[in-house]
A = this chain, B = another copy of it.
Amino acid sequence: MNDAGIVTGVAVAVDGERIVEIGPQAELDRRYPHATRIDCQRGVLTPGLVDSHTHAIFGKPRYEEQELRASGLDYMEIARRGGGIHSSVRDLRGRSEDDLLDLAIPRLRRLAAHGVTTVEVKSGYGLTPDDELKSLRVIRRLGEILPMRLVPTWLGAHEIPLEFREIRDGRSEYVRLLVSTMLPAVSSAGLARFADVFCEPGVFTIDESRTILTAARSAGLGLKLHADELRASGGAELAAEIGATSADHLAAISETGIRVLAASTTVATLLPGTMLFLGKEKQAPARALVDAGAAVALATDFNPGTSPTTNFPLVMTLGVSQLRMSVAESVVASTVNGAAALSLADEVGQIAPDFSADLALFAADDVRELPYWYGDNRCAATWVRGRLCHPSSRDIVPYHQGRALAQGIDRMTSTR
């Protein structure tokens, strides 16, 4: 992971939707004399950032909980009082598909404005067949409207809904509903690429998670797992056992979990912004995971309760400053490994021939400036499948075009 393949003084040739060649400017100028030229003005060009874990379909923000936590209440306590996920569920159930679409568009555009070109979006605030399908249809429509690359994940197993918590055998009833009703509906409508489960003591157990994900695999979905976020409960081990594409969070992963993940093909997706926003001192053991040989990805966890950020480069900052990854590891975790966490590693996440021309341009002289100027947004433009994604004609032009964009030739960062 520590080799991000960074090169300078080169240009990138794109044909249609694909990257065809990387090389010195003069050479590409000779080879493609009739190409349209885009001057990157010595900025840093990266593969478009891949945000492989978001819950971007939600209604109201939940800012009141940030203060409650500051006053001493923890996440689980807020949830037990009917806040947390449950309040987003109540809110989402009352909204129309169009309303949710209108709310999601500017939120995803903010992600795009920070360099993200591929974004995984989960359902999970519906928790009924109708409301989960409604959320997934919003994601499909977003994919048609926005130029970003969207990957839909069904997270019907985000929480046991209150109406099932209140009845006898409600847990097993809800798992049955997920497997026998919701999953077939999602699958036959072709609305999801992945299934995900929030596996954590108090939410879904290891056995319940195994049941749901095994059924999802049979239905042809890829697998993801919210694992070991608050307590080590064998989530990472389960993810490896069932061949999940990724195990996410992992702030409390055990030594065994680290070893098992490192020996598997499951990507370890870390979400350091969440720990920051929740005021937790403990971050996931990124160093131990990387050193053990696990493929580590970084993502925003964008959601209304525990990580309302769209600033992906800030997550890269946390990758270096909090998780003690190198800048190269942080870049790889945000591109190549993010793509692997979505089974898109052959398609996006690298600036290399035959890869999709999904690119992000930053107003910086050095790739190390991306995590360095923390909280700032230096993204000047993004392209998806060779087409300009940000700024779009519906955006106002970004103000972030500093001195670095007033100079000469191209510079690019290839992550191969």
Residue A384 CB within 8 A of the other chain? no
CA distance A250 to B366 in the complex (A): 33
Chain B neighbourhood of A396, CB < 8 A: 397-399, 401
Tell me whether A374 and B321 are in contact in the complex, defined as CB-CB below 8 angstroms, given that A397-B399, A399-B399 are known contacts: no
Per-residue interface assignment for chain A, residues 370 to 381, with 1 indicating a CB less than 8 Å from any chain B CB and 0 otherwise? 011111110000
Question: For residue A103, which residue of chain B has the nearest CB?
Answer: B403
Q: How far is the CB of A108 from chain B (nearest CB, A)?
A: 12
Question: Contact partner of A376 among B276, B310, B373, B401, CB < 8 A?
Answer: B310
Q: B372 to A320, Cβ gap below 8 A?
A: no
Chain B neighbourhood of A273, CB < 8 A: 374-375
Chain B neighbourhood of A325, CB < 8 A: 70
Tell me whether A69 and B372 are in contact in the complex, defined as CB-CB below 8 angstroms, given that A63-B366, A397-B399 are known contacts: no
Chain B neighbourhood of A317, CB < 8 A: 277
Q: How far is the CB of A332 from chain B (nearest CB, A)?
A: 14
CA distance A279 to B283 in the complex (A): 11
CA distance A310 to B373 in the complex (A): 8
Q: B395 to A399, Cβ gap below 8 A?
A: yes
Q: Give the size range of A's interface with the partner.
A: 35 or more
Per-residue interface assignment for chain A, residues 59 to 85, with 1 indicating a CB less than 8 Å from any chain B CB and 0 otherwise? 001011011011110000000000000
Copy number in this complex?
2
Question: For residue A278, which residue of chain B has the nearest CB?
Answer: B321
Q: A368 to B64, Cβ gap below 8 A?
A: yes
Question: Contact partner of A106 among B63, B72, B398, B402, CB < 8 A?
Answer: B402
Q: A321 to B61, Cβ gap below 8 A?
A: no
Q: How far is the CB of A98 from chain B (nearest CB, A)?
A: 14
Residue A207 CB within 8 A of the other chain? no
CA distance A66 to B317 in the complex (A): 9
Residue A324 CB within 8 A of the other chain? yes
> Which positions 22-63 of chain A face chain B at CB distance < 8 Å?
61, 63
Question: For residue A282, which residue of chain B has the nearest CB?
Answer: B281
Per-residue interface assignment for chain A, residues 303 to 318, with 1 indicating a CB less than 8 Å from any chain B CB and 0 otherwise? 0000011110010010
CA distance A307 to B373 in the complex (A): 8
CA distance A12 to B368 in the complex (A): 43
Tell me whether A277 and B321 are in contact in the complex, defined as CB-CB below 8 angstroms, given that A61-B372, A309-B374, A376-B311 are known contacts: yes
Residue A369 CB within 8 A of the other chain? yes
Tell me whether A375 and B281 are in contact in the complex, defined as CB-CB below 8 angstroms, given that A396-B399, A403-B106 are known contacts: no
Question: Contact partner of A374 among B69, B311, B397, CB < 8 A?
Answer: B311
CA distance A279 to B286 in the complex (A): 13
CA distance A371 to B311 in the complex (A): 14
Chain B neighbourhood of A372, CB < 8 A: 61, 63, 66, 308
Q: How far is the CB of A252 from chain B (nearest CB, A)?
A: 16
Q: How far is the CB of A361 from chain B (nearest CB, A)?
A: 15
> Which positions 88-108 of chain A face chain B at CB distance < 8 Å?
106
Chain B neighbourhood of A366, CB < 8 A: 63
> Which positions 344-380 of chain A face chain B at CB distance < 8 Å?
366, 368-369, 371-377
A-side residues, CB < 8 A to B, are 61, 63-64, 66-67, 69-72, 106, 110, 113, 273, 276-279, 281, 308-311, 314, 317, 320-322, 324-327, 366, 368-369, 371-377, 391, 395-399, 401-403
Could you list 17 further interchain pairs (A-B, Cβ under 8 angstroms) beyond the known A66-B371, A69-B321, A281-B281?
A61-B369, A63-B369, A63-B371, A64-B368, A70-B324, A113-B399, A276-B322, A279-B322, A279-B324, A308-B373, A308-B374, A309-B374, A310-B376, A311-B374, A311-B375, A314-B314, A375-B375
